[in-house]
Amino acid sequence: MLIVMHKDATPAQVARVCNTIRAMGLAPHPIPGAQRVAIGITGNKGAVDTGRLESLAGVLSVIPVTQPYKLASRETKPEDTVIDVNGIKIGGGSIAIIAGPCAVENLTQAMTIARSVKRSGATVMRGGAFKPRTSPYAFQGLGEAGLKILKKIRRATGMPVISEALDTDNFQLVESYVDIVQIGARNMQNYSLLKKAGRSAKPVMLKRGISSTIHEFLLAAEYILAEGNYQVILCERGIRTFSDHTRYTLDISSIPELKRITHLPVVVDPSHAAGKRDIVVPLAKAAIAAGADGVMVEVHDRPEEALSDGPQSLTLEMFREMVGELKAIVRASPRRGLRPRS
């Protein structure tokens, strides 16, 4: 359910409505808009006494929300959500370009890549400190030492950094070092972790599970939103199908559909979908053309020596060329407000 306030409603009136919702045993979620404040309501198991809410001062209307992902739905918030990460905008027209190695291996490697991708146009640095790997014998990441390297990179380059939290035990550690916390595809339905992320003050990038529907994806995001963290970035990274010529199948059709039904920013990870570096750039171009708010790609200065995901990592030169091609697509895009970041 959604309460739409009058455009001249006072903060006191908004607060009174929120207090009334709490008194009814429900949870209010104020959503500031360009013209007026809306208040989402969650927690109801049955019908809500709308008359009690409609009679409150400042309330314009009470509207039922038909989707089960109430806070993620455009029914609740028609305007795009724009997330500001240390001055870098994700959503609402700007294209975020997130780049870096799959795993942070050492300071020299990570710093070399960070400085190069920033010169080429990257806006956020990615790098795994804790790596969930299919094989228990594969490189698992440097742990906190990797997070400390990312912190040094942020200080040296000014770029925000993103890294993955694997579980509730290490979430707080990752959160203390990074600007965006990533929840990976394997954890999309780890509800304890989602709730933990929902209580964080940091933006969260949620990756779509490898066998998840869009409906399930948005309900996973709803877990984070329902806990009070509205800074959620959705990441399409490919799903498992019968196709075997790529690592996963990048669901390009999910991008315009997600943009239609949710206000949350949508970023695409073509590296994990492709599994082969030669396919990454065409998939990234397709993602931006389809309406994505950004891409996240793996880049390595010596991919043949990478400790993780070398075959799908772009070279520094490939990344530089890709950014130029993405900007050309942005310039040609008819989408309102879309602009390349210099």
Domain residue ranges of the chain, discontinuous segments joined by +: 2-63, 83-332
Structure confidence at residue 335 (pLDDT): 58
Q: What is the pLDDT of residue 341?
A: 45
Please give the CATH superfamily to which domain 83-332 belongs: Aldolase class I (3.20.20.70)
- pLDDT band at residue 50, thresholds of 50, 70 and 90? confident
Tell me what the mean pLDDT of segment 213-238 comes to: 97
Q: Answer yes or no: is pLDDT of 178 > 50.
A: yes
* Tokens representing residue 285 in the block: 């171009």
Confidence (pLDDT) at 49: 83
- Asked if residue 221 has pLDDT above 70, the reply is yes
- Residue 257 is predicted with a pLDDT of 96
Please tell me the pTM assigned to this model.
0.89
Q: How confident is the model at residue 119 (pLDDT cuts 50, 70, 90)?
A: very high
Give residue 155's pLDDT band: very low, low, confident or very high (50, 70, 90): very high
Q: Is the pLDDT of residue 339 over 80?
A: no
- Higher-pLDDT residue of 64, 108: 108
Residue 275: left (phi > 0), alpha (psi -120 to 50), or beta? left
Query: Is the sign of the CA dihedral 266, 88, 160, 316 positive or negative?
Result: positive
Q: What is the mean pLDDT of the chain?
A: 93
Residue in this structure with the two tokens 């950004």, named with its chain if needed: 294
pLDDT at 340: 44
Residue 26: how many other CB atoms lie within 10 Å = 16
Residue 216 has pLDDT above 60, yes or no: yes
Instruction: Check whether 47 has a pLDDT greater than 80.
Output: no
Q: What are the beta bridge partners of residue 97?
A: 295
Average pLDDT, integer, range 80-95: 93
The position carrying tokens 């991708």 is 117
Q: Which residues contact 155 (CB under 8 A, 6 or more apart)?
A: none
Is 43's pLDDT higher than 90? no
Q: Which CATH number fits domain 2-63: 3.40.50.2300, 3.40.50.2000, 2.160.10.10, 3.30.70.1140?
A: 3.30.70.1140
- Stronger pLDDT, 233 or 63, i.e. the higher one: 233
- The band of 334, judged by pLDDT with boundaries at 50, 70 and 90, is low
Residue type, 211: S
More confident residue, 218 or 49: 218
**Residue 4 pLDDT:** 92
Percentage of residues of the chain with pLDDT beyond 90: 82
What is the average pLDDT across 160-167?
A: 97
Alpha carbons within 13 angstroms on the beta-carbon side of residue 3 total 31
Question: Where does residue 86 fall: left (phi above 0), alpha (psi -120 to 50 degrees), or beta otherwise?
Answer: left
Residue 261 to residue 226: CA distance in whole angstroms: 18
Compute the average pLDDT of residues 307-327.
Answer: 96
